[in-house]
Chain A
């Protein structure tokens, strides 16, 4: 195994777009590589995005795995809108899945008494608890106004915590150039965010 402990394959040298092409051509190895690249990243991300009552580790990891495998099965439908787009696509698929899960949980009867607080259907996701649900909602809305390519950059850097060299591989560029691109995308996003608040 070449995977390092910080969640991202340290030997990544091939952009996702290339891997996707290889998977489409029937390369099982590439599929394995892609899974290994994104699974830890998405799992980590999902832990912050799920409401408290659903953050059972196994449950979250299952959800991510199922979403990822489904996405790979539907790879034909995925139209690449530029580098980083696949990750943004996975993130959206997962976000939809999370919303479905929340609705499903709300219909579930409550469990033991001790879990009253944990099973509160309105219990916000970790990220909402940290920065406030309003702020997360405003961010999502502002993000949606950005071109897909910029969305990908913001998501990779801000939400997935990827390093500039890692993003550079994804978008086929250099670390320095990526740093500037990310900063510009954030300025763009901030204008949309600031506009909504005033």
Chain B
């Protein structure tokens, strides 16, 4: 046979297998199909499509209820998918939703009460986000508790690692951003996932990253320290010493997961809890710089900052983590090229609480820029400084005191992680305007017709997160973006969401927090002329 016709025959053989829904082992393809890259690529695409269509055809089993199938309420159990400590997972058909679902049935012998089991569903149902598995329902049926969620078609990151080994850096970055946003949503609801690991994250065939298995979720305000749960390698040290559940624990686990995705190994070599307890310092861990010398430094820094042994040194929040991970635009094309290394370092410095100007950090190259930004709670008796992490409540009035030893263009945003951020400063019709003069103490937002203004917390939320930027040069791009955001929003919308409104008077402007992050990422290039603060104030119901 000539090579060409041999190729054609081999391609047809593969196509027939795909059409018949038979597995194709792409790894063992040999030379006969060399030179048919285009067709092979297309065939792999076809394989996915055929499987998708086949799934839909099978999904139509509602028309033909087969006898002998088990049921859970209205759900028909189709095939077992796996088994965990708490329960068995089935692929099931939900006739009401006309969907295949993943049904988790509590194991009677698991020792978990039906009530606790259903709690998982209730907790999870509170969180709606694209990268979190959606809960469809929960019920107790004939004495058995079950919860059903969307069925994810794809592979877990653990399987992916086992199949293909470590992932390329940019893929890790993409996955990490998705997971940061998923975690931000979990934390915003006052929950901690508690069991972030490669086995609990799926990559759907479509590429969507989905955080699964909320069996270990804990309420942030749980009275007593949670029972130690979670997988050894991913356990933050404070968990072993009985610290109550906190987002820092998930940040740690995510850091470990990303370390592993990028390098294929865990940062610490631990075999049991004793090993873990003995790890008092960082000296015994592996470093990404050694394992993956070619990986972007900003990515390495962001990941390693996440699993600092001291929780206070980690990223303050999942969103701060995301900011540190934000990708830099392509290096060649863009005129405002981002040194994302600098941005990641910048966020980590803020996290460390080092009141250290970037200039100083960068050594003798740049003169130090002295600037301070402090939030205050203002009431009839005066004002009290709010340290990062202080609690605030509905009705509180806030102001920012700002001072700089050089003229500064100041921008303040409220990024509560809900997907929307707000421009809090500068605002039309309010004095002062940018640039703020050097060596002058300002109280922002400022004054309107001689009336001093504050920002008032208008409604209950989990937390408020503020980003303060100061630049010693005009920032035309940022100005344009801020102006566009402000123009785009009607004044009424500010008051309706759980964020800050100006009191008295008009409102803030809402923007997509992703746009905010994009702008921040762009500005990261200009570290010589930029200062950046991030404040997180959890809400309390005083």
Q: Which of A7, A117, A132, A187 contacts B43 (CB 8 A)?
A: A187
Inter-chain contact B43/A159, CB cutoff 8 Å? no
Given contacts A190-B15, A194-B39, contact A126 B56 (CB under 8 A): yes
Hey, which chain A residues are within 8 Å of B153, CB to CB? 130
Tell me whether chain B's interface is mostly helix, strand or loop, or mixed. helix
In the complex, what residue of chain B is closest to A132 when comparing beta carbons? B206
Inter-chain contact A198/B38, CB cutoff 8 Å? yes
The CA of A193 and the CA of B43, in the complex, are separated in Å by 8
Inter-chain contact B42/A5, CB cutoff 8 Å? no
Smallest Cβ distance from A103 to chain B, in angstroms?
Answer: 22
The CA of A117 and the CA of B60, in the complex, are separated in Å by 23
The proximity string for B residues 1-36 relative to A, scoring 1 for CB distances below 8 Å and 0 otherwise, is 000000010011101101100000000000000000
Inter-chain contact A187/B50, CB cutoff 8 Å? no
The proximity string for B residues 199-214 relative to A, scoring 1 for CB distances below 8 Å and 0 otherwise, is 0000001110000000
The proximity string for B residues 36-77 relative to A, scoring 1 for CB distances below 8 Å and 0 otherwise, is 011111110110111111111101100110000000000000
CB of B98 closer than 8 Å to a CB of A: yes
Segment touching B, from A25-33, A77-85, A135-143? A135-143
Inter-chain contact B48/A131, CB cutoff 8 Å? yes
The CA of A68 and the CA of B38, in the complex, are separated in Å by 37
Interface size bracket, A side = 35 or more
Number of A-B contacts (CB under 8 A): 128
Inter-chain contact A139/B39, CB cutoff 8 Å? no
Hey, which chain A residues are within 8 Å of B63, CB to CB? 5, 7, 40, 44
Hey, which chain A residues are within 8 Å of B59, CB to CB? 47-48, 126
The proximity string for A residues 115-137 relative to B, scoring 1 for CB distances below 8 Å and 0 otherwise, is 00100000000111111110110
Q: Which of A47, A157, A189, A193 contacts B98 (CB 8 A)?
A: A47
Inter-chain contact B207/A186, CB cutoff 8 Å? no
CB of A195 closer than 8 Å to a CB of B: yes
Inter-chain contact A197/B45, CB cutoff 8 Å? yes
CB of A70 closer than 8 Å to a CB of B: no
Partner-B contacts on A (CB < 8 A): 5-7, 40, 44-45, 47-48, 55, 57, 117, 126-133, 135-136, 138-139, 142, 157-161, 179-180, 182-184, 186-187, 189-195, 197-198
Contacts A/B (CB < 8 Å), 14 sampled = A44-B63, A45-B56, A126-B59, A135-B49, A158-B53, A183-B13, A183-B15, A186-B19, A190-B40, A193-B45, A194-B40, A194-B42, A194-B43, A195-B38
